Chains A and B, each alone.
Chain A
Amino acid sequence: MSAHHQDQHPLVPYRVYVVVWAALLALTAITVGVSYLDLNHVAILSALLIATVKGSLVLMYFMHIRFEKPLYVFMILAVMATYGIFIGLTFSDYSYR
C-alpha cells in the first residue's frame, strides 16, 4: 500500500454492498406493504421508522461511516442535535400560538 492509502479504510468486499442493497429493497417492500394495512396514525410513524433504518444503512455502509474514524460520527451527531434544536424550537413556538 502506498502512502496515499495509509489513512484509508481497508477495502470493503463487494458482497457487503450487495447484502446492504438487498436489505434496503426488503425494507422498501415492507414499508409499501405496511402502507396497505390502513394503520392511519401509526402509518406515518412506521413509515418514518423504516425510513430511518434504511437511511442508517445507507450512512453506515454506502457512505462508509462504519469504516471511518469516530470524527465523522461526532460530526453527524452534532448536525442531528442542531436539527433537533430546530425541530424543538419550531414546535414549541407552533404549539403555543
Chain B
Amino acid sequence: MLETALKGSRTYWIWILFLLAVIGVGLIFYLRQFTVGLGVTGMSRDVSWGFYISQFTFLVGIAASGVMVVLPYYLHNYKVFGKITILGEFLAIPAVIMCMLFIFVDLGQPLRVLNVILHPSPNSVMFYDMVVLSGYLLLNVLVGWTALSSERKGVAPPKWLKFFVILSIVWAPSIHTVTAFLYSGLPGKYYWMSALLAAQFLASAFASGPALLILLALIVRKFTKFDPGQEAIQALGKIVTYFMLTSVFFLGLKLFTAFYSGISTYSYPIVYLYAGLEGYNKLVPIMWISNILTVAALILLVIPQLRKNEALLAVASVCVFFALWIDKGFGLIVGGFVPNSFKQIIEYWPTIPEISITLGVWAIGFLILTVLYKVAVSVREENRDVDFHH
C-alpha cells in the first residue's frame, strides 16, 4: 500500500519537501549538539529537563488520544467513527515515534541508549515507559495497517484483530499514566508530586488529541476526495468540549489545594508560571496566552450554536491545541524545576539549536503522518463506492 504515498499532487510534494527541509535544519543542529553536548540547549543544572522532555510528554497524550475514536467505534459500535478510526490510529503512530525521538535527542550519551534494555531496571518508571510506548506503537501499526489492508481488498478485517483492538484500548491510558508517574513520584518536585497528575494528563490529552484530529479531518476533506463525515467531526467536537472542561476543572482543583493550604512549596511554581516570582517572569506571557486561548476555546465549544459551525469549531480546536501545548509542552516541565532544590529561581528558555531540533522532530512526525494519511486516503479514494467494514 505504501506505493500510494509516491504518487501525489504538486501541493503534496511541496509539503513533503518543506518537511524535509525542516528536518534537514534540525539534523544539522542535532549534529552540533551531538559533538558539543547538550550545552547548546538552554537547560541547566537547575532546570535539567526542558523543551525536549516537555514535547515528549505532550505527544504521549496525542498518541493516547487515538483511543477516543477507537473506543466508541469498537466497544459501542458507534458507526459514525468508522471512517475516522484509521485517522486516529495513524495519528498515534507518528506521535509515539516523536516521543521516542524526543527522548533520544535529550540523552547526553545517545549511543548508549540500549543500556536501558541491556540493564533493565524495573524500579525505574522509565523502564515501564519504554515498554508501554513500544507496545503501543506496535499495536497501532498492527491494527491500523491490517484494517486498512483488509479494507483495500474489500474484505472484513480478520477476527483475531479484535483482540488487539481491545488491547490497544486498554493500553492507551496506560502510556499516559506511566508518563505521569515519571514526574508524580519525585520527592521535592511539588509542581508534579500530585496524585492528580495522571488524571490531569489524560484529560488534557483527550482534549488536545481529538482537537488535532478535527483539524486533520478538515484538512483531509479539503485536499482529498475522502470525507471523514460532518457527524464524526461534530462528535469529536463534543469530546474536546467535555475533556477541555475536565482539564480546566482539574487545574482548578490543583489551584485550590496549592493556595488554600497555604503551603508555599506547592504554590510557588504556580505563582512563578502565572505571575512571576521575585521578579523572574519569563514564562508569564505564554502562560497567559494559554489561559486566553483556553477561555476562547471554551466559549466556542460550550455554546452549541458556535460549536456546530465548522469554521468556529476549527478555530476552537486550534485554541485548545495551543493552549494545552503551552501548558504541557512547556510550562509543566519548567514549573517542576522552578524554584530549584535550594529555593532559588534559575530560569529556562530554549535556545535556537534546541528549537530547531524540536521542529525537526515535529517535522519527522508530520512526514510520517502525511505518508500514512496519504496511504489511508488513497485506499478510501479507490474504494469510494464500496461499502467497507472497518
Q: Are A and B part of the same complex? A: no
Binding site for B on A (CB under 8 A): none
